[in-house]
Structure formats: structure tokens, C-alpha cells
Amino acid sequence: MVLTLRSINEDPARASSHALETELAQAAAFVRKHSIASIYHAGSGHPGGAMSSADILACLYGAELNLWPDSIEDPNRDRFVLSKGHAAPALYAVGARYGFCDAKSALRLRKLNSPFQGHPHVLDLPWVETSTGSLGQGVSVAVGMAMGLKLQGLSARVYTLLGDGELQEGEVWEAAMCAAHHGLDNLCIIIDYNKLQSDNRNSEIMRLEPLAAKWRAFDFGIAEIDGHDIPEILKTFRRASVTQGRPSVIIAHTIKGKGVKYMENIPTWHGSVKFTRQQAEDALQSLGATRSEIKELLDV
Amino acid sequence: MSSTPSLIAIGNDSLRESFGKALSALADEFPKVVVLDADLAGGTGVHHFRKSHPERLLQFGIAEQNMMAAAGGLAATGLVPVVTTFAVFCLRAIEQARLSLAYARRNAKIVASHPGLDVGPDGGSAQALEDLAAFRAIPGMTVISPADPIEMAKATRAMLEFEGPVYMRTGRSPARRVFNDDHVFEIGKGQIVRDGSDLTIVACGVELARALDAAEELEKENISARVVNMATIKPIDGALLKRCAEETGAFVTAEDHNIYGGLGSAVAESLAASHPCPIEFVGVKDVFGASGEPEELAEQFGLTGPHIARAARAVLERKRKA
Ligand SMILES: Cc1ncc(C[n+]2csc(CCOP(=O)(O)OP(=O)(O)O)c2C)c(N)n1
Ligand SMILES: [Mg+2]
């Protein structure tokens, strides 16, 4: 696959340091392992799209977002909206990694009276910014946030992560038209382009291609990148952040199930998944977890 | 009155699976039926139909609004579209259902899986507790919520034989068996599934089995509870309700839905016009759901047999004072 940066501003503001990249790679690994463990304990959940988005989420929370656990009520904080709400386990894991919630509590995914519901709920966890789970709505909420910030003269930015199947919702394109019309250059849409959705490949269910051309026609700044390449993700965020006059979209090519050998590119690992102990152990091992880490994550 | 059913242990068949199998089995008999899917065939049960009749499964992608209105177009050409998705995403396309299906009076069917707290761990975001109310408010829309896999299969046939727009709820979780194979399902007709004289419990969907639990518990206290299965919420069986009002004089309604706007409201509206009497409403009390296993949620939100029994005692208290 030839990955080329397209029309997002070509001037990277800062170079990313090697130390930061190492930290983010570790954070992404943590997100994957924690998600597998929480889905194992829950007895249900969506692992595939959690794995594909882990690197993007690590880069957002570990580097890009101007958002800290003590600033979640700051009107000028950057916002992140997980529009593909079924990847909640990955969001909770990255939140745990960066101090927004407790890692052990977040293993109580989908349990009765746990704030870590199957889909993010802003009344349970204020730092998730809004409630999602119905595909296509998060991006509209993000558009509203970007408008609201601009109207109030605030310089904060809004990021939202969408699934590729999610792009089939007409609402996404209503939001895109609106964002471009209003010149929301404080909005950055990221697409987890893992080529699979619930039942099958996008190309079988409802074709998305030519995808970049669609966004170009909607007048977005576009970058097409490898969504598992941390330096490239960081560089692209920097470029998006200095794009002026129009919103940005990052089409991140990813692998559904990334990091778990038996899961990669297999549609049935999308959701409604109940891991056996063996599957959970194999997944964690595939992700490089040590024996003691596996025990710690699975025997709580 | 139909035969008194015994609760046949927990069956492994969910209502959605029963629906999917029935639809597939009926497909040759109803050659005009086409099934519309929005990337959830595995979840709604229509994977059975896809397997048996792949050329009649129309894939719309994750785009429920387009799917719903397109059903109106398909119906306009003489086909019988069956729109399938989760109940909560039917709400998303309700305006399309209103205009392009009901207002245009198309012979189109909407079959919604994953309703209510029965959704379980996916949580409040995914649990439709408003769908019966919303679809009931659309003129000309028939609203059905069968109680067990056997009734589900029979209701699927009845829905296809019926001319006009229908909204039917299935269910995600393994459903308890209530009926035997000889069960008769007719749109618009409730039936007494257990007789009693002190009060009437009217239930639909997963709550019917719980209502029977309640009747059993009440019997030990010498309270004789009649249990009515009201699988058709609209049009409601007003004649049966009136008869039960005259014979028992008190009601409890039970549904896996908000207490506002669904079965309870339909029963109350009907009785208010025919034979007013005390009613207690068992359902979700105007709050959103949450994550948890369906049985845990039913307990926490007050939908289990013991909760229905408590409501029965309360309504008897009111009946005595009246
Ligand atoms: C409006 C809406 N329709 C249907 C669903 C059910 N659903 C949950 S995830 C999913 C597939 C999503 O695929 P994609 O957006 O590609 O996500 P990813 O591959 O990143 O997991 C579907 C259909 C939903 N959550 N919302
Ligand atoms: Mg996808």
C-alpha cells in the first residue's frame, strides 16, 4: 500500500521525540491488553475495532489532546468524541493509562452498576465528553462542539474517531457538509479504516470507495496514513492542527484485530464476542503480555 | 380460553432466532417478501433467511433511515419489505416509518430485535425503552410484542398475512417458553393464559413469563391472579380488557419498556373509556437502562416476578379501599 499525505498542510509544527513514540507504543499495547481483559471479564464486547484503534487513541491521549485529568471541565480543553462507541473498552483503557479513570475499575466493563458501560455514557464518566453507541451521532456532536468553541472564541480543538462502516450513515455526510460549510478548522475527523464492519467487509456490505475522493468533494483537508504508525499519526495531527479554513479528515488505514494474530482481518471478531479463558490468554500472549501480566489482568 | 401453560424451563431459543427461522421457513409461501438488513443480519436472526433465500436479502449497510424509507419504495412496487434492525435504531428512522410507511399506508413490516433491558451488557445507549410508545403513536401502525419463541413464529406468519404497516419486537436473550405448539396467535387478540379472579396481570414480551411467576407466588398467599398475554399492543384488545375489569376489578401491567406510553398506557386508555378500575404499572420508571445481565437489570429496575407480585398486592389494597 502506498500511503501518501494529501492536502493537509505540509508544515509539521514539532518533530516528535523518540522517547514519546516509545511511550505511546507502550500505551497502545496497554490499551490492547486491557481491552482484551475487560471484554473477557464482561463476557461480551467488541474486540476487533478496539485493537484497530489503539494506536490512534494512544497518540490522542498521550500526545495530541490538550486534555488532562484535572482539566476535564476546562472550557478550553480539547475534546475527543468516540463516535464508534462500541470501541468503549479501548477508550476506557486509554483513559486509565492517562489518569482519567482507574485501570482496575475499568476491568468491570459492562457489569451491573459499573460506570464502564458497553458504550460510553457521559453521565457515568464525564471525561468521555458525550454518550455514543448509535453510529453516526458522535460526529454530529463533535461538529456542534467545534461550532460552539468557535462561537465563543475558544481555540480548543475537537477530535472524533469513526468506524469505516459508520460512514454508511447518512448523518456522517450531513455532518461533513456542515463542518465544511462552517469552516470548522478546529475539527479533526479520524477514520479507523479497518475495511471490516459488523457482518463482513465494507466492500461486501456497502462500498465506501473512492473514499478520499468523497472527503475531497466535501472540501476537507485530507491525509491518508498508516493508522498503526505512531510517528506518522503524530505528524499528521500536527499538520491537521495548522490547517486553516476547513476541517480535516485523517483516513487511517488499520487492521481490525491488530496485534492479536488469530483475530486480524476476521469479521467475526467484530462483536458479541465471549472469550474463553484460552482465547483471552492467547490474545494477551500475542500482544506480548508476560505470564505475570496475564495473571494480573485475568485473575482479578 | 387457551390451555393453561406450564413454564417450560429456559429454552435456548431467543425470540430473534425464532423470528429468523420462521421467516426463512415462510419465504416460499410468501414469495413477495424481501428482507432489508443494515449490517446486523447475525444479530436480528435474518441470517437464516439470508442462507435460505440470499437473493431476497437486501443489504443497506449501516444506514437505517435510508433502509426504512426504501422499504416504502419496495412496497410501492408490490413487494412486502421486512425491515430488520435493533429496536433502538428503529427509533432513529421513525420519521421515515411514519411518512413513507404509515402515512403512505404501505404493506411494510418492521421487525426490531434487542428491545428493552433484555439487551443487557451493551447498556443504556442500546436499550430501547421507548419504541412501543413511539410506534404506537403513529396512526395505522400495528404494534406487536410476542412472548416466547412459539408465539414469535406464529406472529411472524400473522404479520405476513396481515395487510398494512406493522412494528414487531423480538428479543435478544434466550426466552422462556410459555406456550405449546397449539398456541393460537391472532393480531389484535389478547388471551387469558392463567385464570384468576382477584386481579388481572396484563403482560407482553419477556414479561409474560415473569407475570406467570408472580401469579404462582400470589397463589401461595391465596391471591388469585389472572394473567393475560397482550402481544398486540395496538390495536389493544379492549373487549378482553373490559371483561377482565368486570370480572376482577384491578390490573397490573408488565412490560420491558418505559411505564409511559407502552402497554400500560394502552391498557389504561382502554379501561378509562370502558370500565375504570385501579391499575399498577410495572416497567422501567422513566429512566434509561444500564449495563448488566438481563436478569440482573430486571431485578434492579423492578421487572421480575416478585416486583409484579408486589404491584399486585398494592393494587388489591387500592381495590379494597375503592
Ligand atoms: C446506528 C447504528 N446502527 C447499527 C449499529 C450496530 N453496530 C455496532 S458496531 C457495527 C459495525 C461498525 O463497523 P465499523 O464502523 O467499521 O466499526 P469497527 O470496524 O471500527 O469496529 C454495527 C452495525 C450501531 N451501533 N449504530
Ligand atoms: Mg470497520
Number of domains in chain A: 1
**pLDDT above 50: residue A11:** no
Q: What percent of chain B has pLDDT over 90?
A: 96
Mean per-residue pLDDT for B133-154? 98
pLDDT tens column, B83-92: 999 999 999 9
Q: Helices A137-151 and A170-181, interaxial angle, to 10°? A: 20
H or E element: which one contains B9? strand B8-14
Collect all residues of chain A within an 8 Å Cβ-Cβ radius of residue B51: none
User: Residue A138: which domain range?
Assistant: 5-298
Instruction: Tell me which residue has its CA closest to atom 21 in ligand 1.
Output: A49
Chain A CB contacts of B291 below 8 Å: 109-112, 114, 116-118
Q: pLDDT tens digit string along A196-242? A: 999 999 999 999 999 999 999 999 999 999 999 999 999 999 999 99
Calpha distance A282→A276 (Å, rounded): 10
| Stretch B293-305: mean pLDDT | 98
The answer to whether B195 and B228 are in contact (CB under 8 A) is no
Residue A157's pLDDT is what? 98
For β-strands B80-86 and B57-59, DSSP reports them as unpaired
pLDDT digits (tens, 9 = 90+) for B18-48: 999 999 999 999 999 999 999 999 999 999 9
Please state the ipTM of this predicted complex: 0.93
Would the CB of A139 count as within 6 Å of ligand 1?
no
Taken in order of first residue, the domains within chain B and their CATH numbers are 15-169 (3.40.50.970), 191-321 (3.40.50.920)
Say whether A110 and B122 touch across the interface (CB within 8 A). Answer: yes
Which atom of ligand 1 lies at the shortest distance from residue A167's CA?
15
Given a cut of 60, whether residue A191 has pLDDT beyond it is yes
| Catalytic annotation, pick one of B17, B64, B255, B280 | B64
DSSP states along A86-148 = GGHHHHHHHHHHTTSS-TTGGGSTT-TT-S--SS--TTT-GGG-S---STTHHHHHHHHHHHH
Strand segments (E) across B157-286: 166-169, 174-177, 191-194, 199-203, 225-229, 232-234, 251-258, 279-284
How far is it, in rounded angstroms, from Cα A53 to Cα A61? 12
**High-pLDDT (> 70) share of chain B, %:** 96
pTM of the model: 0.95
Is the pLDDT assigned to residue B11 strictly greater than 60?
Answer: no
Whether A4 has a pLDDT exceeding 60, the answer reads no
B55 classed as catalytic: no
Q: What is the mean pLDDT of chain A?
A: 94
